[in-house]
Amino acid sequence: MTNEINFDNRKEGLKAGGTDTMSEASAREVGKKEFTEKSKRNYFKELYDLYESLFKLNMVKNEILIIPTFHCFLGIINPVCYISGGKYISTRIHPFMIQPSRSGKGIVMKMLFNLTKHMTMLAPEQVEFMDNKLPVLKPTNIRPFYTLKTTEAALLSQEIVVGRKTDLIPGLLKDRRLVCYDEGRELLSTQPAYENVRIAWNMAMDEDGNGGAWMSKALKTGIVEFYTHTTMLAGSVLTEEMKGKMLDEGFYQRCYLLFQTFTEEEIVEITKEIIKLTQVHKNQINEIVEKIVSVKEDWEKVVGKKYLKSNARVPYIMVDKDSVEKLREKIQSYWEEEIKETYTEGKQSQLMSFLVGNMIDKALKIATQKAVFELKDAVDEEDYNYAVEACKPNMESVKSLLATIKHIPIKTDRREEILYNVIKSAGKEGITTTVLFDHLRVLKNEGRWDTGRNGTLKLIKKLEAKNKVKTEFQALSEKGGKEKVFWAAEFG
């Protein structure tokens, strides 16, 4: 188990029995030197390189999962929060991986489960003040939990009857730091029971300002209340039921969403490569895991001394306000250009706006992780720039998923733009009615077009009225008769 971080340097250099092996001054110098040496290391890079090596011994051809699951891991073991609006915000990241069967998402999930199974972390809620008023961070077991599905009672609390006595037993969110869902689609089920499960997770993924989330449940025999610092990791294939839930609730928006499709040929290739990995000796994996644990423990020996202040029971790092604003501008720009301009206002737009707000929160968490594992004094612009890049798979996944939800109405001016670009792409030769609707049918199947034939012809009339599109009848050489041809007015 990881040693407690103790702020009394006089205790460094003492043997277990308390025998003083050197002078008090020398002991302090030894402790100071060890602290300085450990403070110079880039633990972020060391851990990433080791995690990437571990990933490649378990999985191939699905590298999009490396970054989010790595930051999921860092969020579990990192007790340091960032301050936002006077609140302490943890750096937990909750990946939800949506990929086809046999793509390897389950393998990655089990890899992270096994990595944390025998690991400890420093728990911010267990910060105590000793008799000499010097704070310490105590280690606690991560105790990951792997499951297909859970009930609300399993997450929050259950009543256990023993004889005439009824005990309230806290659920998984009390002391499990990682819960893995192999069948994540169950979390988006329309069954009433799962609505309460989603509500519980929404509460758990939100931050109450004290480095975690406050959970409570009223039962017949009393109220169960506790802090949770649990991280969720889920995987699923994409189902129609999940598509329907994407814009109905805030569950997806709180997750680091990952969506990727594979062709059957790619799945076959992944399967072949995974079979080859069975030849990897378990000792190779164990060796990397041991190195990860060793680096983590070295980092833990200095992280508390750097970030746990005497006026706070939660370790924290400051953020650079100017850099935060630049981060917000970058992600807001993506929202404006890639999402808002495509979809309608109203409830759907509000939910997507909430989703982008959560993207900013995720980026702040990732930037904080990087700064803390590099032992910086504050989160700076370099960390934010990295975080934006680390969040791009999430943003692109959201965009791709939205394109699959065919019931989302597209804004009128955006329809005109799409239609004009299709016509313009045909060049000066123009595009016939038949070919035009063939193109639009493809876009419709991809969720990027939502207008029928009559509506499309009305849009063309509008484009003609704006002198952007021209139309004429051309003879059909093979079949006889005539058909309309459309081309961009700029071609003459």
Segment among 68-77, 133-142, 257-266 with least mean pLDDT: 133-142
Look up residue 20 and give its DSSP letter: B
Q: State the distance between the two ends of the chain, measured CA to CA, in whole angstroms.
A: 76
Beta carbons of 449 and 382 less than 8 angstroms apart: no
**Which residues partner with 351 through β-bridges?**
none
Look up residue 311 and give its DSSP letter: T
35 versus 145: the higher-pLDDT residue is: 145
Report the DSSP pairing between strands 178-181 and 145-147: parallel
- What is the Cα–Cα distance from 321 to 326, expressed in whole angstroms? 9
- Written as six digits, the tokens of 354 are 């909430």
- Written as six digits, the tokens of 384 are 């934010």
Cα–Cα distance list, 341 to 128, 255, 338, 411 (Å)? 51, 23, 6, 8
**Which residues partner with 129 through β-bridges?**
135
pLDDT higher than 80, residue 25: no
CA-based angle 206:72:375, to the nearest 5? 100
Cα–Cα distance list, 306 to 151, 303, 315 (Å)? 40, 5, 9
pLDDT of 132 reads 46
- What is the Cα–Cα distance from 258 to 98, expressed in whole angstroms? 6
Tell me: the pLDDT tens digits for 391-442? 989 888 887 777 776 555 666 777 888 899 999 988 888 898 988 998 888 7
Find the farthest-apart pair of alpha carbons in the chain and give their distance in angstroms, rounded: 105
pLDDT higher than 70, residue 277: yes
Counted residue by residue, the chain has a size of 492
pLDDT higher than 70, residue 203: yes
Q: What structural domains does the chain harbor? A: 1-34 (no CATH), 41-304 (3.40.50.300), 412-491 (1.10.10.10)
Average pLDDT, the chain: 82
Locus of tokens 């849009």: 459
pLDDT of 16 reads 34
Segment among 17-26, 139-148, 340-349 with least mean pLDDT: 17-26
Instruction: Assign 337 to helix, strand or coil.
Output: helix
- What is the Cα–Cα distance from 328 to 334, expressed in whole angstroms? 10
Look up residue 125 and give its DSSP letter: G
23 versus 233: the higher-pLDDT residue is: 233
pLDDT higher than 80, residue 343: no
Query: In the predicted model, what is the mean pLDDT of residues 240-268?
Result: 81
Q: How confident is the model at residue 49 (pLDDT cuts 50, 70, 90)?
A: very high
Residue of 268, 305, 306, 231 lying closest to 61 (CA atoms)? 268
Query: In the predicted model, what is the mean pLDDT of residues 141-152?
Result: 92
| Long-range contacts of 346-350, Cβ-Cβ distance < 8 Å, separation of 24 or more | 347/247, 348/247, 348/408
Q: How confident is the model at residue 34 (pLDDT cuts 50, 70, 90)?
A: low
- What is the Cα–Cα distance from 373 to 370, expressed in whole angstroms? 5
Beta carbons of 285 and 57 less than 8 angstroms apart: yes
pLDDT of 345 reads 47
Query: In the predicted model, what is the mean pLDDT of residues 350-379?
Result: 86
Look up residue 2 and give its DSSP letter: P
- What is the Cα–Cα distance from 302 to 300, expressed in whole angstroms? 5
- What is the Cα–Cα distance from 87 to 81, expressed in whole angstroms? 9
Q: How confident is the model at residue 350 (pLDDT cuts 50, 70, 90)?
A: low
- What is the Cα–Cα distance from 34 to 166, expressed in whole angstroms? 52
pLDDT of 186 reads 84
pLDDT of 446 reads 58
